[in-house]
Amino acid sequence: MKFGKKVISLQAAMSLLVATVVILALAVTGFLISREVVQETDKHLTDKALDIARMVAHSPLVIDALEGKEDDRQIQSFTSEIGRMTQVKFIVVMDMNHIRKSHPDQTKVGKRFVGGDEDKAMAGKEYISVADGTLGKSLRAFEPIRNAAGKQVGVVAVGILMDRVEAAKAQSARNIYIGVIVGVLVGAAGALVLARKVKKILFGLEPFQIAGLLQERNAMLESVREGILAVDHEEKIVVANAEAVRIFQRRGLVGPLVGKNIEEVMPESRLRHVLESGRAEVDQEYGLNGLTLVVNRVPVTVENQVVGAIATFRDKTELKQLAEQLTGVKSYAEALRVQAHEFLNKLHVILGLVHIGEYDKLSSFIQHITDHYQMEVGAVSRLVKEPVLAGFLLSKYSYAREHGVTLHLSGDCPLPLPRDPELVGEMITILGNLIDNGIEAVEGGEKKEISVFLKYDGTVFSCSVQDSGGGIPDEIRGDIFKQGFSTKGKNRGYGLYLVESSVEKLGGTLVVTSDGDGTTFTINLPYKAKDESS
């Protein structure tokens, strides 16, 4: 958090802010309460003095004594007792001539009242006054004394010294201030505890660090090529990156995604199952309005509790195109490696024949190589007009030779260029995986031959790949096209799965026949030549 050019920690800022608010609130409250309490204390003392004055003024003893019916010395005894019980400083009863009939100092009885503020009481009024008397400055309550006929016969003055009044007010205010100070200390301690708790919840990060992390997270989410959806434990979408929005918009799903239930956007998304089971699901296919997505679903766990789930997904077509590109590069690189190795061996033979002077054998060897190469090139170029597919098949010749396998390529007519260029990639996937599987099937056998037959009738392209291996056991024949299924170890079992997927994508058929003499895969695909009319 920034104050001017200085940056202070969240803990210090929260402590300072909360403490300031508490101090200001308590200070204002304390001031208002203190003023109210002081006023109430003043009113209490005033009411007390008036109540005592009224009580004395209505005493029959006092009235009779002032009328001469009783000994006026009884007034001194009566007021002294009342003063002792009520803790007031003085109770002075005077007649209409301002002569005192009672006083705390008995020597002042019979003398004129001092203060000069009793005139209104002599005129029959009740009131409060502050004046200096013989005992000092005091708060005085004046009350006229009347007999039964209503005639005024005297005045009573009840006094409380001002130093006592001020002391009572100060004590009341002091109690308030002590409460305010205690409240401020407690508020400051609470602010410190709260700040530490908040900082612990935020893993010790400052607000600017959290803002930076949020910006970085958003930038990363928006930059990835995969669509990302995150849901909370109630299956509500809380995060949807730009790629996810783009994919859903392509399928006609417009509008904001955040806040919606995942089932509204991706029916049968299985994120509910992930939330309940807490187990991840990876590389699963999911159909969305005709679009096939490859989805990964993982739970989000905090303190051993599943609090949400994240789904990442990408268009399967894009992934397949990428895989095909990588496969093609790998195949070309492998073909170059094999041909370079094969060519190097032949150069060694030629060099050896030159050294020993066997020029006739050298000529025959070179002629044999040339004829063999021309035969392979001629067979491929005669049957396949597409240069990428032709080069791929030539690479398979070299790959088969390196593994000691004989590859035969035949057909009944040339295969023209396809109208759809993407078809070439699918055909490379199909033929490449079938030939590779055939090479692996015959490597351990006595007869190591693979036959590839190509046929085109103008509308349908047919190819068959036959090997001389031991065939496919009946018990696993139904599993060979499953993703990841293999009898050759881990990280295998994708070749035939890709073959079947490509055939299904192109709307073709796939037939497998297998016995003890080998296995034959037959593929039929719709095929339109480039020069055909639509």
> What's the average model confidence in pLDDT over 109-119?
83
The CATH number of 1-223 is 3.30.450.20
116-158 confidence digits (pLDDT tens) = 788 888 888 998 887 776 666 778 899 999 988 889 999 999 8
Q: pLDDT at position 3, please?
A: 44
Q: pLDDT at position 156, please?
A: 93
Select, from the ranges 3-12, 40-49, 185-194, the one with the highest average predicted confidence (pLDDT): 40-49
DSSP 225-291: SSEEEEEETTSBEEEE-HHHHHHHHHTT--S--TTSBHHHHSTT-SHHHHHHH---EEEEEEEETTE
Q: pLDDT at position 320, please?
A: 60
456-495 confidence digits (pLDDT tens) = 888 898 989 998 887 888 777 777 877 767 766 555 667 7
> What's the average model confidence in pLDDT over 211-234?
74
CATH domain 225-313 topology: Beta-Lactamase (3.30.450)
Tokens of 69: 């019916």
Where in the sequence of the chain do the CATH 3.30.565.10 domains occur? 358-526
Spatial separation of the C-alpha atoms in residues 316 and 305, rounded to whole Å: 32
Spatial separation of the C-alpha atoms in residues 502 and 320, rounded to whole Å: 10
Q: pLDDT at position 207, please?
A: 67
Q: pLDDT at position 144, please?
A: 93
Average model confidence (pLDDT) across the chain: 77
Q: pLDDT at position 181, please?
A: 77
> Which is more confidently placed, 203 or 128?
128
318-348 confidence digits (pLDDT tens) = 656 555 545 555 555 555 565 666 666 667 7
Worst-scoring range by mean pLDDT, 23-27, 84-88, 108-112, 166-170? 166-170
Q: pLDDT at position 533, please?
A: 46
Tokens of 493: 């079992």
Task: Please determine, for residue 115, whether its predicted confidence score (pLDDT) is greater than 90.
Answer: no
Q: pLDDT at position 371, please?
A: 53
Per-residue pLDDT band for 49 (boundaries 50, 70, 90) equals: confident
Where in the sequence of the chain do the CATH 3.30.450.20 domains occur? 1-223, 225-313
Percent of the chain exceeding pLDDT 70 equals 76
Tokens of 444: 């351990």
Worst-scoring range by mean pLDDT, 57-61, 220-224, 496-500? 220-224
> What's the average model confidence in pLDDT over 493-515?
84
> What's the average model confidence in pLDDT over 506-524?
88
The CATH number of 358-526 is 3.30.565.10
Q: pLDDT at position 331, please?
A: 55
Counting other chains too, the contacts that 514-517 makes at CB distance below 8 Å and 24 or more residues apart are 514/471, 514/472, 514/477, 515/471, 516/470, 516/471, 517/468, 517/471
Tokens of 93: 């009863």
Dihedral sign of CA atoms 199, 204, 208, 209 in order: negative
Question: Do 423 and 527 meet the contact criterion of CB atoms below 8 Å apart?
Answer: yes
Tokens of 431: 């033929």
Q: pLDDT at position 342, please?
A: 63
> What's the average model confidence in pLDDT over 296-320?
79
Q: pLDDT at position 534, please?
A: 43
344-398 confidence digits (pLDDT tens) = 666 776 777 677 877 677 677 666 665 555 556 656 767 787 877 877 787 787 7
Spatial separation of the C-alpha atoms in residues 447 and 303, rounded to whole Å: 61
Q: Give the count of beta carbons closer than 10 Å to the beta carbon of residue 392.
A: 22
Per-residue pLDDT band for 261 (boundaries 50, 70, 90) equals: confident
